[in-house]
Amino acid sequence: MDAICASLALGLLIMTLEVTCKRENSTLKRRELRRWLKSAKTASERALELADEDVFTFNAYLRSRWGREQGARKVLGSGQGGNALLRKATEIPLEVAGTALKGLGFCADSAEFVYRDVAADLDSAALILYASAWGALGSARANLLSVDRKTRYHARLISKADDLEREALQLLDRVRACTSRRKSRR
pTM confidence score: 0.86
Q: Please list, in sequence order, all residues whose beta carbon lies within 8 angstroms of the beta carbon of residue 6, skipping any fewer than 6 positions away.
A: 43, 44, 47, 96, 99, 100, 103, 128, 129, 132, 133, 136
Q: What is the pLDDT of residue 28?
A: 67
Residue of 94, 114, 93, 90 lying closest to 40 (CA atoms):
114
Residues in the chain: 186
Going from the N-terminus, what domains does the chain have, and what CATH number goes with each? 2-184 (1.20.120.680)
- Determine contact, residues 76/85, Cβ cutoff 8 Å: yes
Instruction: Tell me what the pLDDT averaged over the chain comes to.
Output: 87
Q: What is the pLDDT of residue 72?
A: 43
Cα–Cα distance for residue pair 93/51, rounded to 1 Å? 9
Residue of 125, 127, 122, 154 lying closest to 141 (CA atoms):
154
Q: Please list, in sequence order, all residues whose beta carbon lies within 8 angstroms of the beta carbon of residue 75, skipping any fewer than 6 positions away.
A: 56, 57, 60, 85, 88
Q: What is the pLDDT of residues 63-103, one digit of tens each?
A: 887 765 554 444 444 444 568 888 999 999 999 999 999 99
